[in-house]
Structure 1
Amino acid sequence: MQPSVTRWKTLVRATALSLLAVVAAAGVGTGPARAADGNVAWTVRTASNGYGEARSSYSYNVNPGGAVEDAMVVANRGPAPLTLAVYAADGFTTDAGQLDLLTRDKKSVAVGAWVRAGAGSVVIQPGKTAQVPFTINVPANATPGDHVGGILTTLTQADQTEGINVDRRLGIRITLRVGGELKPNLAIENLHVTYDGSSNPFGKGDATVAYTIHNTGNAALSGKQAVSVSGPFGVLRARAGDIAAPPQLLPGESWDVTVPVRGVAPAVRLAATATVTPLLTDASGSTTSLKPIEATAHGWALPWTVVLALVVLIAVVVGAYLYRRRSRARRRSREDARVRDAVAQALGGREPKTS
């Protein structure tokens, strides 16, 4: 029984951590945000100061070696005093395309390592608010470009029934652009195309184009996408419909894309072209379109009926060739036997001598 109980507790723990990740993602970059569970509820928002009022997140331009001072406001909406831990963490893009922040057990190397809260925890009375100051000290050797993270409040609660601790997190996004040469760049990688034809040898089928968008620059980027498929020399071109934009990718991150293209003619040899126009957002929130990037890959497009007919034709040709070879061999064997019999009769039934 003990191994079964252990596996069950492991499953419960994994489920709890998954729920925690959902709570964390929902609380990052929203302001004011709210976390509530029974008698425990609190909100976080940006402080009003020289950087602005009612900001949804923190955004700064800082040179290497520079520093920023700001604050977060935490409000206790519950009926009992609330003690929350405060920490910062680096951000990353989840498989669902949402920003999340590293948990406390994961090591941060950028924003999460540069932010220092005024206190590691805060105690807030019911119905009251507390301002949590923090400082961002950017190292002199910091890499120019965009760095994303967040500052979080967290509450650890023991689940007596399951025997585990569950962390509930609520935080605000921090976007930091470190001064220096900005090199925004996206790359299209691993582009390939597959074709699924119809039973009609002259009918059109569907193609699937797949590729990876890789942020190889130092700026956070999204992008507009376009995909087309054509036959040799660009004829019989078919274009994909509207394609959802990828999430904003942080430097070094990748995003897998799969695009269906309808009404593709079986042009024997297909060329699939993917075009991505990078979108760069500045600190004010305005977006700039950069020079598009493009990649092309090739694939085969033969309707399966034609392929089947070709296979049958090849089989018939090969079979006929082998049949003719066997027929010639049998005729040659019979002729050799007839000649031996004729020679034997001419020699009076004696076997011919061989040298």
Structure 2
Amino acid sequence: MQPSVARWKTLLRTTALSVLVAIAAVGVGTGPAVAAEGNVAWTVRTASNGYGEARSSYSYNVNPGGAVEDAMVVANRGPAPLTLSVYAADGFTTDAGQLDLLTKDKKSVAIGAWVKAKTGSVVIQPGKTAQVPFTVSVPGNATPGDYVGGILTALTQADQTEGINVDRRLGIRIKLRVGGELKPNLAIENLHVRYAGSVNPFAKGDATITYKLHNVGNAALSGQQAVSVSGPFGLLRVRAGDIAAPPELLPGESWTVTVPVVHGVAPAISLAGTATLTPLLTDASGSTTPLKPVQATAHGWALPWTLVLVLLVLIAVLVAAYLYRRRTRTQRKAREDARVRDAVEQALRAQEPKTS
């Protein structure tokens, strides 16, 4: 019983952390991020300085070995003093397509290791704000490309009901592009096409396309997708409707795409499913540049099974008829040969001399 309770407590704690990070860490809004529960409330926002004002997140271009200094502003909106821990963490894309940040107990190797706040904790009085300076120091051997993470404030509170401590986190996204050769590249992998027809062998059916997008370059990329299905030699082509854009994938990340139904596909025996992806590269100013499209094709069967069954039955009938006629001819020939043989024997016996 105790292990089961422990697992539930761990699940609750993990769920709480995930929800908070999903809401707060992405920092996509134009206003300050807010964490509030009961009488505890605080906000975080970017500081106004030479990098800009009212920024929704931090974005830097830094060469290997370089460093930048910036700050985060934390405000206490509650009635009691707040003591918040401050730290940085690496980012990753969740299965839901949202940016999340590693928890403090997980090891960061990029943003979380390169960003250092001036203080590991900050005390803020009710109604007051505090500016927390931090430095981004890029190692001299850092690989060129894009890195995403965040700087966080965290409050640990005891959950009396569950008897555990819950970390509530609020932070702002940091996107860093390390100088050097940028090699943006998205690949389409594991493309499959499946066909589902109807009882009517001449009616059109539906196709399902699945594939995986893999960021094999060193730049964060999103993309525009298009899918089509065709018969042999590109005939009878049908294009899928609008496909939702994938999330921005960080270098090394993958995203599975399922185009559930492509309607009106003819049962053309052999199908070709083609996925076309136009990668989109976003620079520090927010401008998006489309790159050279990537395309992949896979083949599958589109057999009208009712017609196939009819053909199989027809072939079976023809084969049976052929075998029956062949056996009949063989039996008839055998009987004819027997009659000829008997007639010859009778003629030979009639010609034999009679003995007295």
TM-score, structure 2 normalization: 0.88
The aligned residue for residue 353 of structure 2 is none
TM-aligned CA deviation for residue 319 of structure 1: 5.6
Aligned to 2:226, the other structure's residue is in SS state strand
The aligned residue for residue 263 of structure 1 is 264
The aligned residue for residue 224 of structure 2 is 224
Deviations 1:299-353 (A, max 9, x none): 1101221232234345545666777899899999999xx9xxxxxxxxxxxxxxx
The aligned residue for residue 142 of structure 1 is 142
1:105-120 → structure 2 map (5 Å cutoff): 105-120=105-120
The aligned residue for residue 287 of structure 1 is 288
The aligned residue for residue 197 of structure 1 is 197
C-alpha distance in structure 2 between counterparts of 1:12 and 1:318, whole Å: 69
Specify the code of the residue in structure 2 equivalent to 1:92.
F
C-alpha distance in structure 1 between counterparts of 2:322 and 2:13, whole Å: 69
| 1:24 and 2:26 matched | no
| 1:303 and 2:300 matched | no
The aligned residue for residue 181 of structure 1 is 181
Q: 1:328 to 1:177 in 2, by over 3 A?
A: same
Q: 1:132 to 1:308 in 2, by over 3 A?
A: same
Asked if 1 retains the 8 angstrom alpha-carbon contact of 2:26 and 2:100, the reply is: no
Deviations 1:207-237 (A, max 9, x none): 0111001011000000000000001111100
C-alpha distance in structure 2 between counterparts of 1:169 and 1:293, whole Å: 39
Structure 1 stretch 195-204 or stretch 184-193: which is displaced more? Answer: 195-204
Asked if 2 retains the 8 angstrom alpha-carbon contact of 1:211 and 1:258, the reply is: yes
Asked if 2 retains the 8 angstrom alpha-carbon contact of 1:9 and 1:162, the reply is: no
Aligned to 1:7, the other structure's residue is in SS state helix
The aligned residue for residue 51 of structure 1 is 51
C-alpha distance in structure 2 between counterparts of 1:323 and 1:106, whole Å: 77
Unaligned runs of 5+ in 1: 339-355
Asked if 1 retains the 8 angstrom alpha-carbon contact of 2:229 and 2:271, the reply is: yes
1:308-327 → structure 2 map (5 Å cutoff): 308-316=309-317
1:92-171 → structure 2 map (5 Å cutoff): 92-171=92-171
C-alpha distance in structure 2 between counterparts of 1:127 and 1:54, whole Å: 20
Asked if 1 retains the 8 angstrom alpha-carbon contact of 2:16 and 2:168, the reply is: no
The aligned residue for residue 77 of structure 1 is 77
Specify the code of the residue in structure 2 equivalent to 1:24.
V
Q: 1:106 to 1:317 in 2, by over 3 A?
A: farther
Specify the code of the residue in structure 2 equivalent to 1:236.
L
Unaligned runs of 5+ in 2: 340-356
Q: 1:49 to 1:202 in 2, by over 3 A?
A: same
TM-aligned CA deviation for residue 78 of structure 1: 0.8
Question: What is the root-mean-square deviation of aligned Cα atoms in Å?
Answer: 2.4
Q: 1:118 to 1:334 in 2, by over 3 A?
A: farther
Q: 1:137 to 1:236 in 2, by over 3 A?
A: same
Identity %: 79
Structure 1 stretch 132-141 or stretch 23-32: which is displaced more? Answer: 23-32
Aligned to 1:9, the other structure's residue is in SS state helix
Aligned to 1:73, the other structure's residue is in SS state strand
TM-aligned CA deviation for residue 107 of structure 1: 0.7
C-alpha distance in structure 2 between counterparts of 1:16 and 1:327, whole Å: 82
Q: 1:153 to 1:328 in 2, by over 3 A?
A: farther
C-alpha distance in structure 1 between counterparts of 2:294 and 2:264, whole Å: 25
TM-aligned CA deviation for residue 21 of structure 1: 0.4
Asked if 2 retains the 8 angstrom alpha-carbon contact of 1:195 and 1:208, the reply is: yes
TM-aligned CA deviation for residue 200 of structure 1: 1.6
TM-aligned CA deviation for residue 29 of structure 1: 3.0
TM-aligned CA deviation for residue 8 of structure 1: 3.0
The aligned residue for residue 347 of structure 1 is none
Specify the code of the residue in structure 2 equivalent to 1:78.
G
TM-aligned CA deviation for residue 12 of structure 1: 3.5
C-alpha distance in structure 1 between counterparts of 2:94 and 2:328, whole Å: 69
C-alpha distance in structure 1 between counterparts of 2:12 and 2:327, whole Å: 70
The aligned residue for residue 34 of structure 2 is 34
C-alpha distance in structure 2 between counterparts of 1:269 and 1:8, whole Å: 54
C-alpha distance in structure 2 between counterparts of 1:152 and 1:131, whole Å: 13
Q: 1:317 to 1:108 in 2, by over 3 A?
A: farther
C-alpha distance in structure 2 between counterparts of 1:225 and 1:235, whole Å: 21
TM-aligned CA deviation for residue 271 of structure 1: 0.8
Structure 1 stretch 323-332 or stretch 22-31: which is displaced more? Answer: 323-332
C-alpha distance in structure 2 between counterparts of 1:282 and 1:319, whole Å: 71
TM-aligned CA deviation for residue 158 of structure 1: 1.4
